[in-house]
Chains A and B, each alone.
Chain A
Amino acid sequence: MKFHSFLIKYGEIGIKGKNRYMFEDALVRQIRYALKDVDGTFAVRKTHGRVYVDCEGEYDQEDAADALSRVFGIVGICPVVRLANAGFDQLKEDIIAYVAERYPEKNQTFKVESRRSNKHYPLNSMEINCALGEAILEAFPQMRVDVHTPDILLNVEIREEVYVYSEIIPGPGGMPVGTNGSAMLLLSGGIDSPVAGYMIAKRGVALEATYFHAPPYTSERAKEKVVDLAKLVARYAGPIRLHVVNFTDIQLYIYEKCPHEELTIIMRRYMMKIAEHFARKDGCLGLITGESIGQVASQTMQSLAATNAVCSLPVYRPLIGFDKREIVEISQKIDTYETSIQPFEDCCTIFVAKHPVTRPDLERIEKSERNLEEQIEELVKTAVETTEVIEIR
């Protein structure tokens, strides 16, 4: 069946009072972004407190619905057939044709729900419901009316044109990206961090990302994989600025100067510092990590406290209470899992100790870090200056 428009239903943004325009504008922007690579020409418009996507000419219906179902802020997408408003008799015929084509089995229950913006229309909403219901019953005697839990809820809206829709494709919910500032995601090649980014973006936060690589210990392919992950997250979150930091020299210096079992925790502290530097530079309001309590040595409560201590921006950890299984489920849903599990070594595992500290003591860690005083500032500065920025669009 050929649909002419999508009616976009949005949830929370409808209740945000005076900010409503801001939210709707963001939604429109995100919808346009999501549709940019779909075959077809689309016009996004706000009218009567609603958002419509009008599809002009030939377009890929499936891809368009798919792209829209990734736009945060949308709770439902209704494919709409638009008809010329040519009198009630014509409308009856058109509705019968719609039902005939859309529901070839004709054995379902239905209910008609109509609205009219033109209050001079010869019939009121109640009368339209009845007359259209009668016409359908007459045309398809196997169909039954059920006003409480119909299989088909047939919406008919009479405006300058007539809009008919009877299906809601669920959207992802959340709020339009860009309505809640931006945050810096610490993106590794693993399963967790892309999911963390997705979850924060879902609340309307635009993303930037920082990735630490350690050539020659990590390969060009590991970096490619992270770029691929960023692209997958960007399908939901919109454009992402990805900072690729060469972490090798810092890592080797820590390895040389600090107790081996503290390597990971000290490394992570420097990663947070560098990510925070870029976050502040670009006006991000927080950091995002994929940490979950107790998952690995560097994610115990003590370790989290020790890494947290180096930054002053809030650190958001949306997966903090999730089990691995739950995280995997989301990563599969958002299609990052397959990419995440490609086997390339990341910089956290190359020199990892057999028994890293699981209950680091902040004072001791800070004492160990004093061994780094001679060169670390210079190394961090170099790492920041040589960072490669990749714009993911």
Chain B
Amino acid sequence: MRKFLLPLLFLLLFIIESLFVEYLPAKVFGMERIFVPHFLFIAILFLTIFVGRKHGIIYAAIFGLLFDIVYVEIIGIYFFLYPFISYLIYKLLQIIQSNIITAFLAALLGISLLEIGVYEMNYLIHVTDLDFIGFINLRFYPTLILNAVITLVAAYPLKWLFEKHSEALRAE
């Protein structure tokens, strides 16, 4: 049972992300901004921080590939960025102490890196012609605020779940 818990949780987050965007209206609080949910990536970052590097990067690669195939149809963008940023965050939290506050800040840093990375890649392959300032105003700030709120709510349950999971792993 415990073995299937994490994949199921991640799959659920993977689908909720798309449902969230499906029902999000064009104007939120009267502003036409683009809010991008990163539920899945927040969970992957917390997994990397509280369970371990190996787990985090494997999950990041698998779900990055799935994300690319199902939602983006360009294979490579998330398949590369998810594991890469997870690794960077892991390295960062080796230097500073990992507790819930640093994990929260690290998750925000990871999401900003992801957004900027995806923007740069899409700009390179001409999926978008938005300039950087436009990107910051239209997408970056709203996305960061949305995900900060989500992380704030989800941080404690995720930490509890993953710490329990890592204890179970050690006991095996």
* A and B co-occur in one complex: no
Chain B interface (Cβ < 8 Å from any Cβ of A): none
Binding site for B on A (CB under 8 A): none
